[in-house]
């Protein structure tokens, strides 16, 4: 029954993750989930991500703190870079458990708003269940824009035929729709499943 704005950054990230997973999405988009966390909280969230999201859905992560993801065992199956990379891309490896294709789309002329400039002229994305894809690139290269386009949150990018997609924002407070943790995790979902997910991400109390 705690108010979401009273939670720490790490707790907010866990609530946002639980509220996203409760819908059992086939694809999870994570926009810098460690960006505002201290090292201990970042390690906790990275461990939750490894345990939860690599078990089934396809995952796309925008994250600059790759070493902390790696330390928790969440090593991307592949790394994609937008724009000119500031550092060499991380090594790619064979996907651990390639599953069915959960998203196969080509986006053209992606804009942040209807009247704004084109951020991504064209990008094709094919993602499989159980795989983790890291999206890298300098600030302003279009990483968050691509995630929001895949989630159908930008003008002209909604696609009713796309599979279920859950997204955790870089600033989780921007996606909360309820003022209490339990209500947020169970919004438009089964309360029992929400309680189970809150327990799995370390918020059972």
- The residue to which tokens 């955790």 are assigned: 168
Q: Are strands 118-128 and 101-111 parallel, antiparallel or unpaired?
A: antiparallel
Q: Is residue 39 over pLDDT 80? A: no
| pTM for this predicted structure | 0.56
Tally Cβ neighbours within 10 Å of residue 190: 10
Q: Which of 47-51, 121-125, 143-147 has the lowest mean pLDDT?
A: 47-51
How many alpha carbons fall within 13 Å on the CB side of residue 70? 10
- Residue 87 is predicted with a pLDDT of 47
d(CA 147, CA 8): 25
What is the tens place of the pLDDT at every residue in 77-109? 888 887 765 445 555 555 566 788 888 888 888
Looking at the DSSP bridge assignments, the partners of residue 30 are 61, 168
């Amino acid at each position: 029954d705690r108010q979401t704005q009273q939670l720490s950054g790490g707790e907010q990230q866990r609530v946002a993750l639980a509220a996203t997973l409760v819908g059992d999405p086939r694809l999870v988009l994570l926009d810098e989930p460690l960006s505002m966390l201290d090292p201990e909280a970042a390690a906790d969230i990275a461990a939750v991500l490894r345990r939860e999201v690599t078990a089934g859905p396809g995952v796309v992560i925008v994250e600059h703190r790759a070493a902390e993801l790696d330390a928790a065992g969440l090593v991307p199956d592949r790394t994609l870079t937008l724009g000119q990379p500031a550092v060499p891309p991380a090594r790619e490896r064979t996907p651990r458990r390639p599953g069915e294709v959960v998203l196969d789309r080509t986006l053209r002329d992606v804009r942040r708003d209807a009247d704004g400039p084109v951020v991504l002229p064209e990008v094709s994305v094919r993602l499989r269940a159980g795989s983790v894809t890291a999206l890298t690139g300098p600030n302003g290269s279009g990483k968050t824009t691509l995630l929001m386009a895949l989630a159908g949150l930008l003008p002209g990018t909604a696609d009713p035929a796309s599979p279920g997609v859950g997204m955790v924002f870089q600033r989780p407070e921007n996606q909360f729709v309820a003022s209490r943790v339990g209500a947020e995790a169970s919004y438009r979902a089964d309360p029992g499943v929400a309680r189970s997910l809150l327990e799995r991400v370390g918020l059972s109390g």
